[in-house]
């Protein structure tokens, strides 16, 4: 509940309702240990199946990266299941690199997690120019719940 009270959880909506959720935190001692304030930590990113393959997850990652930069953070970090090679490769395609693997969970039921980070200063680039003038496409709205 303290994470909700701290405003760390977000919901992405389109005109049909909620389509994704995630948590953006500014520290993560459970997985990363004590760290100086150099990163934003993306957690619990989930996209509804009906909204899959629309780039929602990638948009959330880019939004979180911009938020981290606005807070003068140099990295966006996350963790995911080390066993999910497709997910690890997906994050790698967005510029994340493997940092290390950690084993977490209750005794007797521990899982391996892959810690990954993306250096944000290297990913600042100008927005491409629009080929033709016209209305902007409608985007999903991001709200804090």
Statement: residue 2 has pLDDT above 80: no
* For the ranges 39-53, 98-112, 129-143, the one whose mean pLDDT is highest: 39-53
Asked whether residue 23 is domain-assigned, the answer is: yes
Asked whether residue 73 is domain-assigned, the answer is: yes
**Consecutive H or E run containing 70:** helix 56-70
pLDDT of residue 71: 94
Residue 15 domain boundaries: 2-117
Residue 27: give its domain's CATH number: 3.40.630.30
pLDDT of residue 7: 67
Taking only the tens place, the pLDDT of each residue in 75-89 is 999 999 999 999 999
Percent of the chain clearing pLDDT 70 (strictly above): 79
Query: How many separate domains does the chain show?
Result: 1
Q: What are phi and psi of 102, to 5 degrees?
A: -130, 150
Q: Which of 119, 118, 55, 120 is nearest to 92 (CA)?
A: 118
Asked whether residue 95 is domain-assigned, the answer is: yes
Distance of CA 24 to the CA centre of its chain: 7
| Residue 109 half-sphere exposure toward CB, CA atoms < 13 A | 2
Taking only the tens place, the pLDDT of each residue in 63-114 is 999 999 999 999 999 999 999 999 999 999 999 999 999 998 777 777 899 9
Count of Cβ atoms closer than 10 Å to residue 106 Cβ: 6
Asked whether residue 129 is domain-assigned, the answer is: no
pTM for the full model?
0.78
Mean pLDDT across 136-142: 56
Asked whether residue 90 is domain-assigned, the answer is: yes
Give Dmax (Cα) for the chain. 59
Asked whether residue 145 is domain-assigned, the answer is: no
Q: How far apart are alpha carbons 97 and 74 in whole angstroms?
A: 14
Asked whether residue 134 is domain-assigned, the answer is: no
pLDDT of residue 107: 78
């Amino acid at each position: 509940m303290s994470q909700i009270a701290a405003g760390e959880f977000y919901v992405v909506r389109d005109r049909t309702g909620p389509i994704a959720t995630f948590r953006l935190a500014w520290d993560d001692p459970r997985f990363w240990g004590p760290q100086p304030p150099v990163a934003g930590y993306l957690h619990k990113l989930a996209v509804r199946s009906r909204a899959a393959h629309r780039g929602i997850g990638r948009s959330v990652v880019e939004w979180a990266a911009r938020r981290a930069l606005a807070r003068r953070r140099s990295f966006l970090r996350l963790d995911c299941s080390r066993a999910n090679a497709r997910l690890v490769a997906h994050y790698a395609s967005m510029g994340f690199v493997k940092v290390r693997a950690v084993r977490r969970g209750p005794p007797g039921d521990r899982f391996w997690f892959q810690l990954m980070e993306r250096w944000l200063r290297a990913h600042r680039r100008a927005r491409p120019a629009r080929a033709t003038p016209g209305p902007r496409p409608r985007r999903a709205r991001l709200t804090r719940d």
